[in-house]
């Protein structure tokens, strides 16, 4: 039963992107509800010397500015953040590509942030902004009318809003309930993540290797002599890696990275998740906007998945902030404006990441020589490197 007047916006999905959008829109004075199938609790913040979350994100300067604007970034504990001052990419033939924050005039190329710390900061921002939290609830159906969409729960209750937002992940229930068909393409790869203590200092440098067999290994700096790794490997290899005990896995990771930081010692258990590609025909429909992983799935080799999602949230919030006399948050003109702002950056990032995965997955010595020559050539062109870096920074 839906008795209350429709909210301005109902966001389905309380992940990082959904939380950020909820806080941003509530701060505009909109009546915002946030629904999720799991409880939306503020997780405990890690202590300075506490354990480390195995799942981390590389937050771009553009995303950090958005998170600061909603009051979340500045609440993160500085001692749990690690700036990426430089990055070194190594091809499967030994070619290198190097970036530095100094060369592009930035304080950092990105900041490494633990998932739970970021979730805590965003949940607090949403609560402070007065977001109506409706969780946990099991989603049942969505009913559409000319001026609203209504999300029904299995307990018979529901919420209507002028605008519904699907922010509930790659396998979005909301997207499917709206009748939007999404062809999710498995990469046949699994990302294995873990954190390690290092024998030598990483000096703020992120490292990435394109390995033989199509694997991509990234080492990301954490505070102190610690790193977080993401090893995107074919499913069979990922299974083998996950089955190793902690010392053997640490030795395998150190060897794959050429012992660049000396010996490694595991400080978290490894975790893994499958990798998939998703490209939607459109980011909007009647009374519906689609954001984050519900709108686009990309390979983590560029570390841009969550940044694209924050870009979606910032764009939609900007459109609604600039709507002028249009009171209806779900008006077609506003949704079309949001879609126009996001289609180009999202499609461009998908093309780059998917293209690189395909390029480095082909085991052909001639092609390997060409792709490594290409990397070396780009490394010698400061303008080309700057353009590549700027697209990721913003």
Q: Note the pLDDT tens digit of each residue in 210-231.
A: 998 889 999 999 999 999 999 9
Predicted local distance difference test score (pLDDT) of residue 352: 83
Tokens 């969780």 identify what position? 135
Predicted local distance difference test score (pLDDT) of residue 72: 98
CA distance 130 to 117: 20
Q: Note the pLDDT tens digit of each residue in 140-171.
A: 999 999 999 999 999 999 999 999 999 999 99
pLDDT higher than threshold 80 for residue 180 = yes
CATH superfamily name and code, 7-42+50-393: FAD/NAD(P)-binding domain (3.50.50.60)
Other Cβ atoms closer than 10 A to 328:
15
Predicted local distance difference test score (pLDDT) of residue 382: 64
CA distance 213 to 362: 8
Instruction: Work out whether the CA dihedral 17, 23, 29, 30 comes out positive or negative.
Output: positive
Predicted local distance difference test score (pLDDT) of residue 364: 60
Instruction: Work out whether the CA dihedral 21, 22, 24, 29 comes out positive or negative.
Output: positive
pLDDT higher than threshold 60 for residue 383 = no
- Beta pairing partners, 151: 142, 159
Predicted local distance difference test score (pLDDT) of residue 296: 96
Cβ neighbors of 191 (< 8 A, separation 6 or more) are 230, 231, 232, 233, 238, 272, 273, 274, 275, 300
Burial class of 72 by CB neighbour count within 10 A (0 to 12, 13 to 18, 19+):
buried
pTM of the predicted protein model: 0.93
Predicted local distance difference test score (pLDDT) of residue 186: 94
Tokens 């700057």 identify what position? 386
Lowest mean pLDDT among 98-107, 341-350, 385-394: 385-394
Average pLDDT, the chain: 91
Cβ neighbors of 346 (< 8 A, separation 6 or more) are 283, 295, 296, 308, 311, 312
**37 phi/psi in degrees, rounded to 5:** -80, -10
* Structural contact between residues 48 and 79, judged by C-beta atoms closer than 8 angstroms: yes
């Amino acid at each position: 039963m839906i008795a209350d007047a429709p909210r301005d916006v109902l966001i389905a999905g309380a992940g990082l992107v959904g939380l950020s959008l909820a806080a941003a829109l509530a701060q505009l004075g909109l009546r915002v509800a946030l629904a999720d199938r799991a409880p939306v609790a503020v997780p405990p913040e890690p202590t300075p010397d506490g354990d480390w979350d195995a799942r981390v994100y590389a937050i771009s300067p553009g995303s950090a500015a958005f998170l600061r604007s909603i009051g979340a970034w500045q609440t993160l504990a500085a001692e749990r953040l690690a700036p990426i001052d430089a990055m070194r990419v190594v091809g499967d033939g030994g070619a290198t590509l190097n970036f530095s924050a100094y060369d592009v005039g930035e304080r950092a190329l990105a900041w490494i942030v633990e998932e739970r710390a970021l979730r805590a900061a965003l949940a607090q921002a949403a609560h402070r902004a007065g977001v109506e939290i409706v969780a946990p609830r099991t989603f049942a159906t969505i009913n559409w009318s000319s001026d609203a969409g209504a999300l029904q729960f299995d307990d018979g209750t529901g919420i209507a809003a002028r605008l519904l937002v699907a922010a509930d992940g790659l396998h979005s229930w909301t997207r499917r309930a709206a009748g939007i068909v999404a062809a999710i393409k498995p990469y046949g790869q699994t990302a294995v993540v873990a954190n390690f203590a290092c024998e030598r200092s990483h000096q703020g440098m992120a490292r990435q290797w394109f390995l033989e067999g199509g694997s991509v290994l990234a080492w990301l700096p954490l505070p102190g002599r610690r790193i977080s790794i993401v090893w995107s490997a074919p499913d069979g290899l990922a299974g083998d890696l996950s089955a190793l005990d902690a010392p053997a896995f640490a030795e395998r990771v150190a060897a794959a990275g050429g012992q660049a930081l000396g010996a490694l010692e595991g400080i978290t258990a490894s975790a893994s998740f499958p990798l998939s590609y998703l490209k939607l025909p459109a980011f909007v429909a009647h009374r519906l906007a689609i954001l984050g992983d519900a709108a686009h799935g990309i390979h983590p080799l560029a570390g841009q998945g969550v940044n694209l999602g924050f870009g979606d949230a910032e764009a939609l919030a900007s459109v609604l902030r600039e709507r002028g006399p249009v009171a209806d948050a779900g008006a077609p003109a506003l949704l079309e404006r949001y879609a126009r702002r996001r289609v180009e950056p999202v499609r461009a990032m998908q093309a780059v990441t998917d293209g690189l995965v395909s390029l480095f997955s082909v085991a052909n010595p001639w092609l390997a020589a060409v792709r490594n020559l290409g990397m070396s050539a780009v490394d010698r062109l400061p303008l080309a490197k700057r353009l590549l870096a700027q697209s990721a920074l913003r």
